[in-house]
Amino acid sequence: MTVTLDLAHLLASSAPEDAAARRTLSSLSLAVARARRVVVVTGAGISCSCGIPDFRSSDGLYNLVKSRYPDVVLKGRDLFDASLFRSPESTALFYTFMAELKAAIDAAQPSRTHEFLKVLDRRGKLLRSYTQNIDGLEQRAGLSTAAGPSREGKENDAPSPSPAAPQSSSIAEPAKPKPKPKGKSLKSARNVQLHGDIHAVRCTLCAYTAPFSPEHTASFREGKAPACPACTARCEARLLRAARSIPTGSLRPAIVLYDEPHPLGEEIGTVQGSDLSRAPDLLIIMGTSLKVHGLKRLVREFAAAVHARAERVGGQEGKGGKKQPAMLGKVLFVNRTPPSSEWAGVIDYHVQGETDAWVARVEEEWRRLRPQDWEVQTTLDELPAKARAKVSKPGLPLLVKDKPVEKEKKRPKARRAGNGNSSDAENIPLSQTSALSGKTLVPTPRKEKLVPLSPSKRANLANHYDSDASPRKKRSPGSGSDKGRQEEAGRTPLGERNGGFKEKGLLFGSPSRAQAREDLGLEELSLVTPVKRRSARARLVPVRA
């Protein structure tokens, strides 16, 4: 059973008895926000607010055209029927009506509903849009559209006249198959025009297509159809070869009339089957009365796929342990007039009102209930040059910091001399000065007490034999009464013991061995290896008998 919601009444009412209906209307908006694969079917009702008249109405362009041809008895629907080409009067009326409709479409702008389709596509929720409209406003709103021939604004290549053949040649040329209309692939298009596009013209005989130019509009306004240039070129080429002439076609708007096959019918069927296999979770029908037989079959097939998915996932829990939203798997019908009784088991909810007002309500509640879907990702191109250097990590939301983070300054490494050794050599006496500069090579050790450092950092010090740097160096190998003096000698560098080294000759001169022992403070040490004590027990020598 179809539930009807009066949109204008619910938007203006705050009565308690309408609270349930208002919650249902909000639930439909939330279903659109949570859906992932939405199929939209639209009709002429979404373009009425753009200034394009509905051909079923009794006023507008139909009355203007009817005044020019009072003898022709046609209804509004008959202007889009293939049977009007049976008489010259109805054909001329059709061309005049198409010229006036083309002028009205060129002056129109996309409506709020057309922009809503682009929003669904930008958010990654639109599976496909199927429209009965021929105005092409979906493409002007930014939605990729493919309806058939000449979507790139270029004419198909007309056959060039072939060189004249000899007159004696009587061999008939084999008939070449007609090429299919050139158009953009429907699989990559987000919008499919079921009834063609008025912005192109095509030949009634061959596959020639071209954009709808102002010259075509002027000819159609007079009720005349321009001749096909491709057919005319082929006919003239045959006449130059002294062959018989062939029929030439005329140009007409590239739209699909009632009871007329679609040039891309097979491709549309393939795309429709692909969309059905992807299990859409929501079907929205807007601005159509559902009177066309082909459209009725398309809507029933998509509605069955949506309901089947709802039954399959009903009661199951999602990834986060939450159940699927209740409004997903439903069919929504948004139109001013209610659907007929044949749609009672197909359409679940009917929102009675204007399509622009409903999509505005959906976007408002979507922004309020799910604001994360409307966050805009800032790119590096939008930031100034100074702010680009302050971005924390690429790929994440760009967070620009107020002050740059200062890196910790590294400890300067010890400079090394030319021979690869550190310039802070620890074996050079502190009192020794450079012969060239007269400056002390190594600074005097600091007197303040330092915290013991690790062995890796101890190499950066001027002398790592000081009392606080290495506790194990404090120990002295001697003992007894000389222990204190040896400890004092162990704390003092060799160069400062006994008044330092005497400068003789080259670097340290050539002192005698005794003087060297005295200068180096080694007089207390013994350089002779102690002799091992012999065992008091004599060896037993075996005596031979």
50 is in an annotated binding site: no
Query: In this structure, are strands 145-146 and 126-131 parallel, antiparallel, or unpaired?
Result: unpaired
pLDDT tens-digit series, residues 453-468:
666 665 555 554 554 5
Q: Confirm if 197 and 254 have CB atoms less than 8 A apart.
A: yes
**Residue labelled with tokens 């006449």:** 239
Q: What does the pLDDT average to over 155-181?
A: 41
| Reported confidence tier of residue 4, pLDDT bands at 50, 70, 90 | very high
Which pLDDT score, from 0 to 100, does residue 83 have? 84
Q: How far apart are the first and last CA of the chain?
A: 135
Max CA distance (Å), the chain: 164
| Reported confidence tier of residue 328, pLDDT bands at 50, 70, 90 | confident
Q: Confirm if 304 and 153 have CB atoms less than 8 A apart.
A: no
Report the range out of 59-63, 102-106, 184-188 with the highest average pLDDT: 102-106
338: CB partners within 8 A, 6+ apart = 2, 4, 350, 352
Coil, helix or strand at residue 184? coil
Which pLDDT score, from 0 to 100, does residue 60 have? 55
pLDDT tens-digit series, residues 430-489:
444 444 445 444 455 555 555 566 666 655 555 545 545 455 555 544 444 555 555 555
pLDDT tens-digit series, residues 223-237:
899 999 999 999 999
HSE-CB at 162 with a 13 A cutoff on CA atoms is 10
Task: Indicate which residue of 9, 114, 195, 350 is catalytic.
Answer: 195
| Domains, the chain | 3-49+263-316+325-373 (3.40.50.1220), 53-107+197-255 (3.30.1600.10)
> Sheet harboring 191-193: ordered strands across?
3-6, 349-352, 330-335, 282-286, 38-42, 126-131, 191-193, 145-146
When comparing pLDDT for 59 and 220, which is higher?
A: 220
Whole-angstrom distance, CA of residue 274 vs CA of residue 269: 9
Whole-angstrom distance, CA of residue 430 vs CA of residue 417: 18
Q: Confirm if 429 and 494 have CB atoms less than 8 A apart.
A: yes
Which pLDDT score, from 0 to 100, does residue 164 have? 39
Provide the residue type at 267 as one letter. Answer: E
Measured at the CA of 97, the angle between CA 95 and CA 103, to 5 degrees, comes to 105
- Does the annotation count 114 as an active-site position? no
> Sheet harboring 209-211: ordered strands across?
209-211, 196-203, 251-255
Measured at the CA of 187, the angle between CA 185 and CA 190, to 5 degrees, comes to 100
Which pLDDT score, from 0 to 100, does residue 489 have? 52
228 is in an annotated binding site: yes
Provide the residue type at 440 as one letter. Answer: T
Which pLDDT score, from 0 to 100, does residue 402 have? 43
**DSSP structure class, residue 6:** E
Provide the residue type at 365 as one letter. Answer: E
